[in-house]
Amino acid sequence: MKLLFIGDIVGQPGRNAVKILLPKLREQHALDFVIANGENSAGGSGITPKTAGEIFAAGVDVITCGDHLWDQKEVMELLGNEKRFLRPLNYPAGTPGQGSGLFEVRLKNSSLRIAVLNVQGRTFMQPPLDNPFLLAAEEVKRLRERTKIIFVDFHAEATSEKIAFGRFLDGQVGAVVGTHTHVQTADEQILPRGTAYLTDAGFTGPHESVLGREIEPVVKRFLTGMPQRFEVAKERVILNGAVIEIDDASGKALKIQRVAENMI
């Protein structure tokens, strides 16, 4: 099976890019499944039922999240009712929502099951969550009883934590792709035991910006230390992500390719 993972969708320009570019990418890569990180889809901060609805309507099958989870209060509705919406697994027990899910992938003459897992790192990240390594290992073990095809979005800041996490899960999951830094890294590879790995998928939205926000207020904030309003930027919209091919029988990765698709 072939899946596309889309890096953090930022605001309306990001949502629009998914809507316009995804049908083309689906055809071009013969995609069977699409996962996207939606933590910045509502005005750059958080996610709402409306922005999630737009992303699903554009053809995304599962939405993951990250440290911006709580930015919009309407997220509670998604956490309570939407099984296709995942939040980081390692929130304390009792937090609403789910960190993983099992989903049906329809192929030409058959179907198979994929597990998607969302986990958040702890190095230079707020709020501090439970140990992602220990919890992910337990969860992956549980999921592997249901399917061998497992995709992990590791939402984290430090490259060291991300690489260590990918190495830790190597051979246990089909792919570990990082999100959160909004900068696509060029280290896509298949690790020795068969896990596709990319430190960061990048972000989907306006790249004439600082990580998706207007440049000037961010520079001003660094110059003065004073709080500023960071509006979502507009120009040079790019869809960032990765296409990953996973062997249906073994769950091991066959191929990983970065995606950086421009809006024309």
What residues are labeled active site?
68
Contacts of 122 (CB under 8 A, 6+ apart): 128, 129, 131, 132, 156, 161
184 binds Fe ion (CB under 5 A): no
| Closer residue to Fe ion, CB minimum distance, 66 or 132 | 66
- Least separation in angstroms between residue 166's CB and Fe ion is 18
Closest approach of Fe ion to the CB of residue 69, in Å:
9
- Residue 66 touches Fe ion, criterion: CB under 5 A: yes
40: contact with Fe ion by CB under 5 A: yes
157 binds Fe ion (CB under 5 A): no
The 10 Å CB-count burial string (b at 16+, else e) for 177-206 is bbbbbbebbeebebbeebbbbbbbbbbbbb
CB 5 to Fe ion: min, Å? 14
153 binds Fe ion (CB under 5 A): no
Query: Quick one: tokens of 237?
Result: 């919209």
- Least Å distance, CB 151 to Fe ion, is 18
Which runs of consecutive H residues, i.e. helices, occur in 42-146? Answer: 49-57, 75-81, 132-144
Crossing angle (nearest 10°) for helices 11-28 and 49-57: 20
Cβ neighbourhood burial of 19 (10 Å; 0-12, 13-18, 19+): middle
- Asked if residue 180 binds Fe ion (CB under 5 A), the reply is yes
- Of 8 and 261, the one with the shorter C-beta distance to Fe ion is 8
Residue pair 69/37 in contact by the 8 Å Cβ criterion: no
Specify the 3-state DSSP secondary structure of 141: helix
The size of the interface with Fe ion (CB under 5 A), counted in residues, is 6
From the list 32, 67, 153, 261, which residue makes contact with Fe ion (rule: CB under 5 A)?
67
Residues 2-21: x/- map of binding to Fe ion (CB under 5 A)?
------x-------------
Q: List contacts with Fe ion (CB under 5 A).
A: 8, 39-40, 66-67, 180
